[in-house]
Structure 1
């Protein structure tokens, strides 16, 4: 008789709920527990009331594998810490957490990002193209719209219209989310970034833009992670790569162009529907798809959207109207505060619009996430 794997989900939002619905259809895996901080008595809209729990201990104790998709860096870090200590494998769809504390856990146990969001899809595409002999130079994320400082009333409108939290809507719009995603890919796949903040070219033709970015990667001497602003392109990911020149004629025949750079596009990412692939990968012993690596080289700094004043509270940096996230090289920005740590943070001194928030500028509450970051940076500094 085939073993039934008990799956636990931390999070009851769009991703967590959607995944729960898919798991319930499977014969060989079971939805065991769902961890929530909400009042369970008020969750009449949740389809599986019997598996809900507010207890992290009960949650971890009744699962063989957990999927963390709470969207919360501080809380998610605490949950994963307990899971790792219990030797439970962890699958995340939480790039924000990965780029903040993921490396701390990568040194201690099994943690992987799932397919479905752009980082996991890029990691899967990477495996595919490498098996075909390609050598990736550009890991590309496609974005249709960008506004570095959107108005709150506009974000409230789109949040309500799309049924997505206000902070998530804002982080998608101001570029924080895509910067986070590409930092995770860079750290996880051994790539880098061309410049702090990324190049972010506009693109009417992904093939042409891919070539331009590949030329930059060749000049730099290492693969780069980027995103393109391409309103007419599909909401997917792409890799621009080179191949053995002996395959040039065949690749031309396969409609891949003249070379030497070739762009391979995946024109979709289906979020929670694709997490199932990663769950089965882990169960079958397929190993880590993607995580932030043990020794990250890039991070996501907080950039002030306006002048921040002493005494000002930043309740949550990601998706706020005070700061936005920007990819930076750790070696040259060792004192930056990762935007994922800006939770209930109080400004100690003025930071002007466009400046990076540093640890000297802000008072942060004690948390495991903060301690984990300090450990990561200390080890990274030693490696540098």
Structure 2
């Protein structure tokens, strides 16, 4: 859906830009009504050789990492719409080349709102997401129904519903913009009044002495956008109240939409014009997304996927407090070594992980952060 929307946008509204190649792993004859089908390729080299900039929107941590590393070898900048990749291998990649999250998805939209706020003199305290619905353990039947209704995959629908996606998004925002979390899994306040909830989050941030990243679950007002909670100079209070932003001291700046593929072009233009990174996971992250068991599981049980599956969901954690957690983005076609209980954080001792470039990168990051070597050996043996 993201690729189709972006291709149509560029073809119809960006006459100075050209889509040169479209990388896919699917058979060419499986596409119908696909814009610019003649530009499809199965070759990463073909993609790279005919491009000035790569837009990576596969949603796949493993494949996306391979493509981005190849793009960096060729000296190409990369714009992603793939927060899952950013939070798994993105910090390593950020040290190897130019990678930025695109405006349009919530993290990029928050980063753009952050830039606007700074230009107006605001001091951000809270980077907030608005989530329409949350069910930590939805059924496969329910997810299949909603996937058909919305025209997206069951995996995507599940990761949105069980909260994994919002945890990933807010961790990328926290790492990229220097924010932290108040607790594992975020606050996730149920809200009937955004200004009231925003003020509560603002007070929590000030109590910590550091900006925080979090989300609310709206009731009675629209979801789907992002917001900042900010302070401003005391001498501006009267003017800001006159401008209808309230009496303070906490001010809520709202961006009531994020239009995904329709906004990616803005970030592409930014990069081509020589602009800097809008957002990435930073080269020194402090937050990660751990895999949390949804139900009891026995040793030997196969794990088809972590993100968007029915065995695990993701929760934001502080890396310093959970150095041995397995990032949920790594759980794909793996197996449990021993039984786990609901709510348990999965560690490298719990799973066998197939070798991959993504796993190598995560282990390199862990070793650089002085994760104990015995944990690294366990993961490599798996």
Cα offsets for 1:65-119 (capped at 9, x unmatched): 0000001111111111101111110000000000000001100100000000000
Could you state the TM-score of these two structures normalised by the residue count of structure 2? 0.95
Contact kept in structure 2, 1:346 and 1:364, CA below 8 Å: yes
Once the 2 structures are TM-superposed, how far is the Cα of residue 147 of structure 1 from its aligned partner? 0.2
Quote how far apart the aligned CAs of 1:381 are: 3.5
Matches within 5 A, 1:326-341: 326-341=315-330
Aligned to 1:10: none
- Could you tell me which of 231, 234, 242 is aligned with 1:242? 231
Report whether the alignment pairs 1:271 with 2:293: no
Q: Does 1:94 align with 2:65?
A: no
Give CA-to-partner distance per residue, 1:302-351, whole Å, 9 cap, x none.
00000121111111110000000000000010000000000111111111
SS in 1 for 2:320: helix
Contact 1:112/1:290 (CA < 8 Å) preserved in 2? yes
Query: How far off is 1:234 after superposition?
Result: 3.2
- Which residue of structure 2 aligns with residue 261 of structure 1? 250
* Aligned residue number for residue 279 of structure 2: 290
Does the CA contact (< 8 Å) of 1:188 and 1:292 recur in 2? yes
Q: Offset at 1:48?
A: 1.3
**Aligned counterpart, 1:223:** 211
Could you tell me which residue of structure 1 aligns to residue 293 of structure 2? 304
Matches within 5 A, 1:1-384: 14-25=1-12, 26-231=14-219, 232-381=221-370
SS of residue in 1 equivalent to 2:191: coil
Structure 2 SS opposite 1:70: coil
Paired residues in the alignment total 369
Equivalent pair of 1:197/1:326 in contact (CA under 8 Å): yes
1:326-377 deviation line (CA, Å, top 9, x unaligned): 0000001000000000011111111111100101100101111111111222
What is the rounded CA distance, in whole Å, between the counterparts of 1:21 and 1:233 in structure 2?
28
How many angstroms apart in 1 are the aligned matches of 2:277 and 2:35? 30
Note the alpha carbon deviations across 1:158-185, whole angstroms, 9 max, x for none.
0001101000000000000000000000
- Which stretches of structure 1, 4 residues or longer, exceed 4 Å deviation after superposition? none
SS in 1 for 2:291: strand
Q: Measure, in 2, the Cα distance between the counterparts of 1:129 and 1:206.
A: 18
Q: Which residue does 1:4 correspond to in 2?
A: none
The CA deviation at 1:233 is 2.5
Alignment partners' CA distance in 1, 2:91 and 2:331: 18
Equivalent pair of 1:295/1:379 in contact (CA under 8 Å): no
1:144 shift after superposition: 1.2
Deviation at 1:27, TM superposition (A): 1.7
Whole-angstrom CA distance in 2 between matches of 1:123 and 1:380? 26
1:167-216: per-residue Cα shift (whole Å, max 9, x none)?
A: 00000000000000000000000111111100111111111110000000
CA-CA distance at 1:44 after TM superposition: 2.9
Write the deviation string for residues 245-271 of structure 1: whole angstroms up to 9, x where unpaired: 010111111111111110000000000
The CA distance in 2 between the partners of 1:234 and 1:197, in whole Å, is 20
Distance of 1:380 and 1:30 partners within structure 2: 41
- Asked if the contact 1:347/1:361 (under 8 Å) is kept, the reply is yes
Task: Tell me the TM-score normalised to structure 1 length.
Answer: 0.95
Question: Once the 2 structures are TM-superposed, how far is the Cα of residue 379 of structure 1 from its aligned partner?
Answer: 2.3
CA contact (8 A) 1:295 1:376 kept: no
In structure 2, runs of 5+ residues without a counterpart are 372-382
SS of aligned partner of 1:332 = coil
Q: Per-residue deviation at 1:42?
A: 2.4
User: 70-79 or 42-51, which moves further after superposition?
Assistant: 42-51
